[in-house]
Structure 1
Amino acid sequence: MSQTPRLTDRQALIRNRHRALNTPGRDPALFLHETALDEVQDRLLMVNRTFTDVAIVTPFAQVWRSVFPQARIVADDDMLDLGEAAHDLVIHALGLHWADDPVGQLIQSRRALRPDGLFLGLTFGGQTLHELRAALGQAEAEVSGGMAPRVAPMGEIRDLGALLQRAGLNLPVADGVPLKASYQSPLHLMHELRAMGEVNALDARLRHPTQRAVLLRAMQIYVEEFGTDDGRIPATFEMITLTGWSPDESQPKPLRPGSAAQRLADALGTVEKPLKD
């Protein structure tokens, strides 16, 4: 039997997140999760529905508790601790990029929804940390002649939208926006990623520290290629929002081909002309 390829070392990921929350003298950097919370609140204001049974898949429950105190908070494990048809809203918050089987995560979320329940997923898109990835890749190629896996792969918006359909969700929508952060140096960005719990937890990662020469060259490339006039460096985080509804008979359905009651030319008030051979 074929098995899903293992992308993430779960123990390393859990260790990284625990370190982010519990390092003495340093607060966790959860501004992206707070941004995701703001995005969810804005989306829900546009939905003419009151949700009473909410589940939130997140590694950082404290971000969500103040706004959703009654929600069921579950970890983004391979098997989500969600009951079938137990919720009318499932939020999957910034964990899909570490999932070995992202479609499986969406299917489990859909099964946890009642008919006409709403799924809201927030995940990182393919432009996330493109500056850091480019600098590290070039530096490693120059110094050691190869490239090691360092940043979790992140899907493009079109591919992520298609996952909603594969998971059996109706009325799928995927949209995203790049968020720009600014740092004093690449080293400050790397410290921030550690405080986010977002350092390398890939199963195929190197198990020894990165060579100092690689890091120094990567920082140099980062500044040369992406540095701004004020001496700082930018970092892109592309946040994509995925929206879909659990199937229900009340939802609008596309018309069958050939069932239109009016010609398009009539609706537009134009004269229909046949194409020349």
Structure 2
Amino acid sequence: MSYRPNHDPIIARHPFLRHMVGIMTQPPLVFDRARLAANVARREGQPDFVTDLVVADLADRLAPVTRAFSKALVMGPDPRLLPDTAQSASGPIRFERISALLEIEGFATVDPERLSLPASDYDLIVSLLDLQTVNDVPGFLESLRRHIAPDGLLLIAAIGGRTLSELRDAFLAADVEILGGVSPRVAPMIDVRDAGGLLQRAGFALPVTDLETHIVRYRTPLALFDELRALGVTNPLAGRDTRLLTPRHLMRAAEIYAERFSDPDGKVRASLEILWLSGWVPHESQQKPLRPGSAQTSLRDALGDKSKT
């Protein structure tokens, strides 16, 4: 049951109480977005295979869609890496590119936590690698829906929940050995089981989610650590431990990683999950789910009565 402080007559009369309730109902601050921006800005000119992978997958997903999109927007941390065109089965798509993190000359920049896009009647919005760095995910999705016209499409790619699970395990073990406790080092990510519910909660119809799983291999754990720094995805958590990571700590994490996650050829593996979400803004022309109890054929008839065999 949701609590609505403005409907409580006592709280409504007291500004201080209204302020305190507002603080209590704010989403938790998980990510330090200033640090995120600084991390991404430092990677300029570096290859970014994750974004390249997602952009290629986006093209494959749009190609069979039998819909013409006349007003489309794509947003991501660095708009220079985003496509400006794509193709659906019904014709070309020209994207307006928006930065969701960096301030770059020639591109509009928006704050996903207080989203205000240039228009509110897009028939396609694509968000690439934004969702997993937003503190208020339900609020972000609801804001996106308000900027899409009825029967318009939202398509999102985000980092999935099992990404870098090996790295998380190695550092947890090293933290316990060296610090006597654990420190948050890998950002929480969205699980595919929760994604469809988030879209429905935000008011989207016909939600679909799926997961692309990739195993990336590195010569050593230190090679993985170096690539993460180059990609600008080092610890972005607001509650991170601000103490410098000592060489001893880093090397112990690398040793544990190699012990637990090496392949027979000596290389180590790292999991990468790309979570895709899609949903449509409701419209009367869309198919509707059947009313409970209205089915004309039973599941037993459809599958066959196994009790008779």
Query: TM-score, with normalisation over the residues of structure 2?
Result: 0.81
Q: Determine the C-alpha separation between the residues in 1 that align with 2:178 and 2:242.
A: 18
Instruction: Name the residue aligned to 1:37.
Output: 55
State how 1:70-81 maps to structure 2 within 5 Å: 70-76=94-100, 77=111, 78-81=113-116
- Per-residue CA deviations over 1:137-176 (Å, capped at 9, x if unaligned) read 1011111111111111012101122111111110001100
Instruction: Name the residue aligned to 1:202.
Output: 237
1:53 is aligned, of 65, 68, 71, to: 71
Q: Does 1:175 align with 2:210?
A: yes
Q: How well do the aligned residues superpose, as a CA RMSD in angstroms?
A: 2.1
State how 1:173-252 maps to structure 2 within 5 Å: 173-252=208-287
Aligned length in residues:
267
Q: Determine the C-alpha separation between the residues in 2 that align with 1:272 and 1:39.
A: 42
Q: Determine the C-alpha separation between the residues in 2 that align with 1:51 and 1:61.
A: 20
Contact 1:6 1:100 in 2 (8 A): yes
Q: Determine the C-alpha separation between the residues in 2 that align with 1:103 and 1:269.
A: 38
CA gap of 1:265–1:230, structure 2 versus 1, over 3 A, is: closer
CA gap of 1:59–1:271, structure 2 versus 1, over 3 A, is: closer
Classify the secondary structure of the residue corresponding to 1:71.
Answer: strand
Q: Which amino acid aligns with 1:39?
A: D
State how 1:117-128 maps to structure 2 within 5 Å: 117-128=152-163
- Per-residue CA deviations over 1:68-105 (Å, capped at 9, x if unaligned) read 59422223322233145321111110121111011111
State how 1:10-159 maps to structure 2 within 5 Å: 10-21=33-44, 27-67=45-85, 70-76=94-100, 77=111, 78-83=113-118, 85-159=120-194
Contact 2:76 2:127 in 1 (8 A): yes
The Cα shift of 1:65 comes to 3.5
The higher-RCO structure (CA 8 Å, 6+ apart) is: 1
Q: Determine the C-alpha separation between the residues in 1 that align with 2:304 and 2:219.
A: 60
Q: Which amino acid aligns with 2:298?
A: L
CA gap of 1:265–1:191, structure 2 versus 1, over 3 A, is: closer
The Cα shift of 1:266 comes to 9.2
Q: Which amino acid aligns with 2:82?
A: W
Contact 1:103 1:167 in 2 (8 A): yes
The Cα shift of 1:31 comes to 1.0
Gaps of 5+ in 1: 22-26
Contact 1:177 1:238 in 2 (8 A): yes
The Cα shift of 1:198 comes to 0.8
Between stretches 81-90 and 122-131, larger displacement belongs to 81-90
Q: Determine the C-alpha separation between the residues in 2 that align with 1:183 and 1:220.
A: 14
Identity in percent: 38
Between stretches 122-131 and 54-63, larger displacement belongs to 54-63
Contact 2:85 2:95 in 1 (8 A): no
